[in-house]
Structure 1
């Protein structure tokens, strides 16, 4: 009987995301519903890994502290464990002490072919033959490399994700976030749109090689967000070619296919400075929009902004068929009063204001196309929201 034994804390922290990824496979590809445990022996040096894949993304995590029946002369051993059952056992073992040993053992590859034990607890688990498990995508020899603090990348990606399209079949590229690396400018730009709003931001980078222009899927974004940061300076490495991307952080390796990189060119939207209309307290604006979200037409959550340069106030009004459903007022530092009331989707405006991290939120309007531009004070990110009417 082969086995691997590891502390309960590692059993939970390492195998929880692995089991979840195995459970996320919705295509009923039997082998991808399993998590893989691999114990390698290279020159007498043992190493162990846990991995899973959903077909488009894969994750591998190194198991640092473990015991195994493999000796210095033994061969590599591996097994596939039912992702669904493994996730249930991981959840069940959270009550054990962090240092309590958890043993995973298996005799063969079959239903109930494995056993997971801790203290006096014994749990049977289905196993499968790992020889049928697909190899993850590998990068081309010519690829790009980028190193950046993970926390900075996570902060920007979580903001961009709110503007990503959902299952757009005619323009699949906008179902992800466009990332462009410009090594000479020492910067990356991140852009997302669903056709009705745009998120755009830039981050400075110091360590990069070979420009790239890629579109990463939301599933990869969610996996990046799941990485645990203990220090804001901790670095993550991205390696990309035209088809796939590798994310390396500490003992975790994530691989993902990329979306069609023919992302629409939205640079013209940011060529000209907008007409800045007013500055508001970000918190006051977010709070007012939150209150008004309780009084909207669910089918078309429209909100009108009537800017008064004499009273230095902004009148917020949710409407349905010309009738007022809710209203609020905000003190504003008005610099330019627009010709007409501004009418936009309240949910889109809420998301844009929520992305502002500074104390002050600036709202502007494109002089020709009349779309709204929302930006924080001294921030590099800009959000665009298309008007419902002009």
Structure 2
């Protein structure tokens, strides 16, 4: 293999694929990136056996071939090369080395046989559809904060993606919950997605997708089966195994009749919560919201650290109400609100509260209260 590629194209592709590689691997080849030079392009692939990311970049291929080398080391070398450098990669078979030259720089990395590199098969993905990258990015970006971190509840360690019909309106819905908070996002259902199974996209795949979707072209190609999902980004793709479990019936925890409506400036509310919760206990981060006519009082009393109080002018004409929340969860939801105003729908101090974005009717969040 002998290929020459522009430094920025190589560092961009390496940056996308190498992040999936685990820093500590018991299987040496999983620390490597697969380099395949053929047809005027260099294709780079990395995997941890659960997720596979691949991307192609234009290159001058003098001798086609393939090799694997340390993903982290190759990325570190290439990103430190001068801007605009032409990078030549040459496989020296008899030395089992990958030579790297750029200008006056010369280096080499050990290689492992490319035929030993594992790949995730995608032949069984019968359901295929296309959707705008912005829609897909929104679904995952606004739901991911609610994913569970508890490995014992593995079926909550991801985002549940499934088609949904609301009367005559057909939607692609994403949901995530950790049992204390819930995020539910909708997007128009793409043509071809009607028969897609409900799937749980794992936490790590969701994180990798967030980076890839930032640089994605306008449309993403999605292919899905009962065990795997693939997202195509023009010159690259991400394939991931799915979580083998049953996502709970999250609609059951969404209240239908919360009579008390609170409208508050989202930026002012988030800032007040952040200030008042500074003295709250680290474990629960509990904060009390006391509601009366057009007034919201936020208070924290921590016997070990101190107390704090702040009042906000709000739009509220419901019954007087005191309710407690985890301050960090309130801030996480506030960070998802794009509009100026957040709407809270409350029932009583022990019932779930709905939070909506007035400028995004297809986003809904639910928080469980705390005793304070």
Task: Compute the TM-score of the two structures, normalised by the length of structure 1.
Answer: 0.88
In structure 1, which of residues 160, 165, 169 is the aligned counterpart of residue 143 of structure 2? 160
Q: State the match for 1:8 in structure 2.
A: 7
Q: Does 1:55 align with 2:55?
A: no
1:70-85 correspondence to structure 2 within 5 Å: 70=63, 77-85=65-73
C-alpha change, 1:58 and 1:386, in structure 2 (3 Å) is same
Distance 1:85 1:304 in 2: 50
Q: Does 1:127 align with 2:111?
A: yes
Q: Deviations over 1:321-341 (max 9, x none)?
A: 699621111111012124x41
**1:28 equivalent in alignment to 2:12:** no
User: In structure 2, which of residues 175, 187, 202 is the aligned counterpart of residue 191 of structure 1?
Assistant: 175
Residue 319 (str. 1) matches residue 301 (str. 2): yes
When residues 182 and 387 of structure 1 are mapped into structure 2, their CA distance, relative to the original with a 3 A threshold, is: closer
User: What is the distance in 2 between the residues matched to 1:109 and 1:360?
Assistant: 66
Query: Which of 42, 56, 79 is the matching residue for 1:91?
Result: 79
Alignment correspondent of 1:38: 36
Q: 1:369 to 1:268 in 2, by over 3 A?
A: farther
Q: 2:345 aligns with which of 356, 364, 372?
A: 364
Structure 1, 321-330 or 300-309: larger mean CA deviation: 321-330
Q: What whole-Å deviation, never above 9, does each CA across 1:92-116 have from its counterpart, x for those lacking one?
A: 12xx233x211011212766x1111
State the 1:9 CA deviation.
Answer: 1.3
CA contact under 8 A between 2:67 and 2:111: conserved in structure 1?
A: yes
Residue 274 of structure 1, CA deviation:
2.1
| Equivalence for 1:181 | 163
Q: Using the alignment, how far apart are the partners of 1:389 and 1:178 within structure 2? A: 29
> Equivalent residue for 1:276?
260
- Label 1:26 to 1:213 Cα distance change in 2 as closer, same or farther (>3 A): farther
Look up the match of 2:86: 101
Indicate how the Cα distance of structure 1 residues 109 and 358 shifts in structure 2: closer, same or farther if over 3 A, else same: farther
Distance verdict in 2 for CA 1:122–1:306, change over 3 Å: same
Structure 1 residue aligned with 2:61? 68
Counterparts of 1:137 and 1:249 in 2: how far apart (Å)? 18
Deviation for aligned residue 1:135: 2.0
Confirm or deny: 8 A CA contact 1:344 1:388 kept in the other structure: yes
Unaligned runs of 5+ in 1: 71-75
How far, CA to CA, are the matches of 2:135 and 2:326 in structure 1? 29
Which residue pairs with 1:333 in the alignment? Answer: 315
Counterparts of 1:229 and 1:20, CA distance in 2: 15
Number of residue-to-residue matches in the alignment: 368
Equivalent position of 2:246 in the other structure: 262
CA contact (8 A) 1:305 1:317 kept: yes
1 CA distance for matches of 2:55 and 2:322?
54
Deviating beyond 6 angstroms after TM superposition, the runs of 4 or more aligned structure 1 residues are none
Shift in Å, 1:188: 0.8
Deviations 1:149-203 (A, max 9, x none): 112222331221111111331x211000101124884311111111111111111
Distance 1:307 1:366, change over 3 A: closer
For the 8 Å contact 2:158–2:202, the answer to whether it is kept is: yes
Aligned to 2:206: 221
Q: Structure 2: how far apart are the matches of 1:244 and 1:125?
A: 33
Alignment CA distance shift 1:278-1:89 (3 Å): same
**Structure 2 counterpart SS, 1:341:** strand
Checking the alignment, whether the CA contact within 8 Å between 1:276 and 1:362 is kept in structure 2 is no
Query: Aligned equivalents of 2:315 and 2:328: distance in 1?
Result: 23
Give distance in 1, aligned partners of 2:213 and 2:262.
Answer: 38
**1:73 equivalent in structure 2:** none
**Change in 2 beyond 3 A, CA 1:84/1:354:** closer
Q: 1:276 to 1:157 in 2, by over 3 A?
A: farther
- Structure 2 residue runs without a partner (length 5+): none
Once the two structures are superposed, residues 1-57 of structure 1 have per-residue CA deviations (whole angstroms, 9 ceiling, x without a partner) of x311111111111122223323x25442111100001123xxxx5543111111110
| RMSD of equivalent CA atoms | 2.3
